[in-house]
Every structure is written in structure tokens, then in C-alpha cells.
Structure 1
């Protein structure tokens, strides 16, 4: 059976970290989370010391310095040689059989005893470029796609809570563009290797939702997966609110920004997966009307009431 890479597609604050952690809690899976951010974290080490003192230790233990440079180069989508266009270099390297640097997921698999990688980098541009690599085109790895969607009102509310400088207008333009891009890409993806998942169903019926995903991936569902906070998760970044339950379970101090942004929401939640519908109490009708007006009511397809 070929090894698999699951790409989670969707706009931020739609539950990708939750899905990533649950799937990553399966013994055959490893959650990379937002692996697309590793090059920036690697190249600006001093700005990301918190990462290198935590999950980063795992990456440095698994990959020697030369391998880490290779991994970062393969993930970056930038030229390997500054004087040669990436498209030409890819062709030359594939022709002479020296293209390992352009196949980052195979390199990661070589360091892990796992069958499935979960990549929650989310954006169409990232997913489409990664699937162009020889490791997928040759059939060595199988790429799967999960389009994770959420009621746009909830996403808007989450962004406004997180970024006080965000406006409804700015969000609406970005949300509308990304949702249309995601939908178009999802429709063109092979049907046997894709699934549409609602955040609201994942959070309210996690067992049934994850069972369907496991069936698609050919792995056996395990109830323990749902208690993601009991496991180590060594991927890149992710939603710190969702992540806070892991720290809490380990008896570690929760990041200060969790309480600053969310108050005691996660403290009150306890160790459980809970559907977040805070937008119903926090988002006023004026903002909702503006959102619908600016997006031509695109959210009608994603409403969850």
C-alpha cells in the first residue's frame, strides 16, 4: 500500500488544527500541521525560539543539518539554485535522478515509521504545487484532499476576535476569494481521494466524521484518536486555543495569549471536543449584514444554524 499525504484545504479558523490533531493521534499517522511555515521558521530562528525549544527539537533530532536544509529547500517553492528557474532545475534533476531535494514528503517519511502524513497548510497554491512533485506524479505517494468548511459568520467572528485591526470588508474580500478558489480546486480533484468535511459536524459528531475519513484513507478508526490532547504533536504552529488543551493535560502553563484572546473559554471547555458557536452571541447583526452584502450571500451554502 502506498504511503499517503492528506492535504487539508480551507480558510484559517475553520477547524484545521483540530482535524490535524485528531488524525495525528492515530498510530499510523503523523500530523505536520502547517508545514508550509517551516522554511520561514528555520530561516528566522531567533524569532521562533519557542518552536525550536519545543517541537523543533524533534525535527533537529530526526534531520541532520544537511537534511534539514534539503527539507526546507524542498518545501520553500523557491529556486534551489538562484541562477536557474525552478521549473528547469526540476526537469534536469528528475532527468539525472538527483531530485530528492524536490520531494520533501518522501524525505519526511524516510525518518518516520508512519503511513500517513497530515498537511494542514490549507491553501490551493501550496497544495497544487506540492502535488506537482515527482513523488506524487510517479505514484510513489498518494495525495488526498479534505476540504474543511465552516459557517463564514463563525470564521468572521474568530478573525475579528484574533485581529483587532481586521475589518469586515477586508475579511469578506479574502474569504470570498479563497472559498471560490477552494471549491474550484476541490471539484477538479479525483473523487476517490477527496472528502468534504464540515467543521460543525467534526466538532458535534467527531466519531462519525473521523470514521468516514479513516475509511477513505484505509486505516482503522480508533476511539482514542478523539482524545488528541493525550498525544504528542510535533508539527508546525497551529491554532493555540485548540493546542491549549494539550498543555493543560500535561500540566503545563497555558500560553498567555489564549486567555487574552479567548478569556476562560478553553478553561471552561474541559477535555472534550466542543462545537464553537460563539459568533451567535458575539457577532452583531450589522456586521453579519455587511458580510453577506460584500460576498453576495455566498455563505448561504455554508450556514449552520
Structure 2
């Protein structure tokens, strides 16, 4: 069995998707009701540079990478047993009709943009990666990593009212689910530190993964319009408003990590910052 076939079986076991066989080989079944083809989901923690990467991708002539869409909050509800029964007769429950809504909204947005490839980057998607894989079996995934200590430092500055323990717990929830998604899903991994150090090389590799020709203008994302910059839609700080790639911020030496986050950092190849 090839690695793609192994991936198909592994995703199916995790998400509940049906595996069919074509030419004797296992493959994920694609719902005939989907309009959007091969969407791309950028999975990351908060404070990982996902807004920067989405703006660079949105600067490509073929890629539409909008602001954060918060699909997890876009839901369909059946008001009574009549609609429940009628939808069940069609083979649809609330979950599937919600997926139909997601698909229609994203497909319409992509067509309105005039581009060919959609990229969605809401950080909260890490908590529902299995639903995304179930909704779009042909989805592609980009994983954005950053040193957990840098994420924690950035989160504390963005959320100064949280206690240190609350900040650690918030970051840990995102990174734990991101690690889980990376184990289960195929995709391409990007490190924030590499992206800001050499944006040309990193965007070339992303374009190769997506089957697109690289466009040098992607690096100069400030030349293009990317919609509103405000809280709730992505990063809103002066660094992203500058329109140019900024060097990675130095992480203060006093930022230490609890054991679970430090272990994750080491697994991802980052230097240890264990508390105590």
C-alpha cells in the first residue's frame, strides 16, 4: 500500500469517512454535493504568523486567501422534528447541512474573487480538523509552526489580562491539536522562523506543494489589498500593517515552558526552554 493509500485509511479511521476502492486501491470517497474543489487549510496556533502567510498567499494571482472566516461558528439548526424528519429522508442531518453551507459560502467567495485556489486560515480550525477533512475529503493542508516560547510570549502581550497559567493553557490547547492534525493528515509544513528569514524560498516550496508557479510579488504583500485589518479577522498589529516581512522577534530569556510544551518544542526541532 502506498503512502497516499495509508493516509486515506488513516483519515477515514479518524473522521468516519468512507473508504472506497478504485482499481483495487483505497481512496477517500468525495461527496458529490461539494462545489469547492481541493481547498487549502492553513492549520496553526494563534500568534504563529498565519496572517502574514495568508497575505503572502493572497498576493498570488491564482490564490484567494481571505480573512479569518470562523467556520466553526457558522452553523445550521433544525427548529423542529418536521424539518429534522424531512432532511433525514434526504439523508442529511444538521452536521451535513452545515457542511453544505460551508461549501457553498467558500465556493461563492472563491468565484467572486476571480481566482482558482482558496486558502482558509482561521487558527480555531485546529480544533475541528477532522470535520474539515470529512467535509472536503480532497482538502489540502499547510501546517505553520513557531517556537512555542515565541507563541506564548506573543500571546501574553496580546492578552495581558490573562494569568501566566491561563496563557500557557490557551497555547497548549492550540499546539496539542495542531500536533494531532499533523500526525493524521498529509500536508506541507512551514516554520515561521524560516518564513521570515527567507520568504522567497518558503513561498516557492508552498507553491510547488500547491502545484502553482511561484510569483516573486508574493513576498511584497504590502503592494496588494487584503481586506480589513482588525481584531477578529487576523493579526491587526503594526508589524502586519507595515506591508513588509519583519524579522522574527527575539524571545525574552525569561519565557520558559511547562514540560508538555517544552517536549513538543523539542519534537519539532526547537531548543528547549523548560521551566525550572
Alignment match of 2:224 (pick from 219, 231, 240): 231
Aligned position for 2:132: 130
Q: Give the secondary structure class of the aligned counterpart of 1:110.
A: helix
Aligned position for 1:275: 247
Q: Give the secondary structure class of the aligned counterpart of 2:248.
A: coil
CA shift, 1:16, in A, is: 0.2
CA shift, 1:182, in A, is: 1.4
CA shift, 1:244, in A, is: 1.2
CA-based RMSD of the aligned residues comes to 3.1
Q: Is 1:26 matched up with 2:60?
A: yes
Partners of 1:159 and 1:243 lie apart in 2 by 16
1:3 touches 1:115 (CA, 8 Å); kept in 2? no
Partners of 1:94 and 1:25 lie apart in 2 by 38
**Cα 1:292–1:179 shift into 2, 3 Å:** same
Q: Is 1:14 matched up with 2:12?
A: no
Aligned position for 1:92: 90
Aligned position for 1:261: none
**Cα 1:187–1:239 shift into 2, 3 Å:** same
How do residues 241-252 of structure 1 correspond to structure 2 at under 5 angstroms?
241=237, 242-246=239-243
How do residues 99-248 of structure 1 correspond to structure 2 at under 5 angstroms?
101-103=101-103, 104-122=105-123, 123-133=125-135, 136-137=136-137, 142-189=138-185, 191=186, 194-234=187-227, 237-241=233-237, 242-246=239-243
Does 151-160 or 228-237 show the bigger shift? 228-237
Partners of 1:27 and 1:237 lie apart in 2 by 22
Aligned position for 1:299: 265
Q: Give the secondary structure class of the aligned counterpart of 1:197.
A: strand
**Cα 1:150–1:195 shift into 2, 3 Å:** same
CA shift, 1:119, in A, is: 0.6
Partners of 1:155 and 1:232 lie apart in 2 by 27
**Cα 1:100–1:11 shift into 2, 3 Å:** closer
Deviation by residue 1:155-176 (Cα, 9 ceiling, x = unmatched) = 1111111111122211222322
The alignment of Structure 1 onto Structure 2 pairs a total of residues equal to 225
Partners of 1:243 and 1:10 lie apart in 2 by 17
Question: Quick one: higher RCO (CA 8 Å, sep 6+), 1 or 2?
Answer: 1
> Where does the alignment leave 5 or more consecutive residues of structure 1 unmatched?
38-74, 247-271
Partners of 2:130 and 2:53 lie apart in 1 by 21
Q: Give the secondary structure class of the aligned counterpart of 2:182.
A: helix
